[in-house]
Amino acid sequence: MEQKILSSSEELSLYINTIESFFKRNFPKLEKDKFWPWFLKMLTNKEYDMNNLATQETEEILCKLKELGDLLFDPRKVHDIN
């Protein structure tokens, strides 16, 4: 089976859908319009408008999300254990 390579915007959408799904399930009263500015500020230490992301901003956010994913799915990286 051939794997499809995702564009940056498709990859970001995948992360967004996954994160929203998790937070909606665990925190149903969380407001989406307040969540994303907070989450991106926490993740990147910058404020972003989710509706108007430039390509460079998308790449930076993706890089941070991948780092976060690595920490979540490979706990050894948190403590730098070989």
Domain borders along the chain are 8-79
Q: Mind listing the pLDDT tens digit for each residue in 20-54? A: 888 888 888 888 788 888 888 988 898 888 777 77
Q: Mind listing the pLDDT tens digit for each residue in 3-17? A: 678 788 888 888 888
Sign of CA dihedral 81, 70, 72, 45: positive
Q: Mind listing the pLDDT tens digit for each residue in 50-68? A: 777 777 788 888 888 888 8
